[in-house]
Structure 1
């Protein structure tokens, strides 16, 4: 069987003007991941990333550590099917109808870094509306369309893969959630309950034979746990 490692990007710059940049912790997480894979003797046949900067930076930082340790590392390929959904667009489209019941929502979302718990509660509520399909809005990518887009990326991987290849996919939490939904048939709401637990640079492993895919492991972050540095275990 072949293996596909779904790797969430390192910690991004939550609360900053540009979220799509790794924080110093995010860079360190990626380096630790690459060193850990090298120590395990992991041989990657292919490495794919979405086209977001935080995904590519995580991939390149990890690959650099593999090469520095003398391990072979493939050239990074880009496939936008593994991008994250546009969370800002979801918030902008669905927030106005929620302000009647959440009058402080706009202030909280604009100051997310200092209201993390309330931001998460509101964001989860908005995501619940988005995945329900009851609030589909013109110009906003629906959950169904996002899942279809991710499915296309997975299909391309499988069509091009040899039966015993090991492939790393550097992606994001929402994309991993869509893949969990597709592969295990878990309902979207329950899949997003798992989403909130996905650690930055964690690995989830898929096993495949032909077009048949199964989930082998989820959210492993032992490379961070072994360092006994709690500040490296982050979720956003």
Structure 2
């Protein structure tokens, strides 16, 4: 039976024009994790990741730190949900809940948490790329794929995002 190692992508580029890439620290974090695994003689049979840039860059950095090239299996089911679209839909419905200009980042996360609750309960309207149920189904399909494809292996490295990993578990 395979052991699955779930890894959240390294620090992304929050607050820049393209969140979906690792910051310099994120690249270093990925290499450090690969070095950590190498120091403990932890090898992997394959790398499975979502198709987001930050997932792929994290996987590449881990492999660099490990000093290996792993077979890579890209599965879009491991991608994060579109948190910005969810927050936008929530704030369109409930504009009075918008964080004030210059509010601390914690205010954004509070709005996100509330927006996600409405999303999960299917209470959001608007231009959403997927429903909570679709998100759940695609992550579970990725988990099923991994379980079926790699059941005869020892260790599989899975790189994804926090929301998808929570749903995976």
TM-score normalized by structure 1?
A: 0.67
Counterpart for residue 87 of structure 1: 83
Counterpart for residue 26 of structure 1: 26
Deviations 1:9-41 (A, max 9, x none): 000011111101111111111111000000111
Note the C-alpha offset of 1:117: 1.4
Counterpart for residue 165 of structure 1: 154
Query: Which runs of 5 or more residues in structure 2 are unaligned?
Result: none
Counterpart for residue 132 of structure 2: 143
Contact 1:3/1:165, CA 8 A, preserved across alignment: yes
Q: What does residue range 18-57 of structure 1 map to in structure 2 within 5 Å? A: 18-57=18-57
Q: Which one has a larger percent strand, Structure 1 or Structure 2? A: 1
Alignment coverage as a number of residue pairs:
169
CA-based RMSD: 1.8
Q: 1:121 to 1:24 in 2, by over 3 A?
A: same
Q: 1:123 to 1:138 in 2, by over 3 A?
A: closer
Query: Which runs of 5 or more residues in structure 1 are unaligned?
Result: 181-236
Structure-2 separation of matches of 1:2 and 1:163: 6
Deviations 1:174-205 (A, max 9, x none): 1011112xxxxxxxxxxxxxxxxxxxxxxxxx
Q: What does residue range 127-206 of structure 1 map to in structure 2 within 5 Å? A: 127-135=116-124, 137=126, 139-180=128-169
Note the C-alpha offset of 1:54: 0.6
Structure-2 separation of matches of 1:41 and 1:157: 23
- Counterpart of 1:126 (choices 111, 115, 118) is 115
Structure-2 separation of matches of 1:178 and 1:162: 20
Structure-2 separation of matches of 1:31 and 1:138: 38
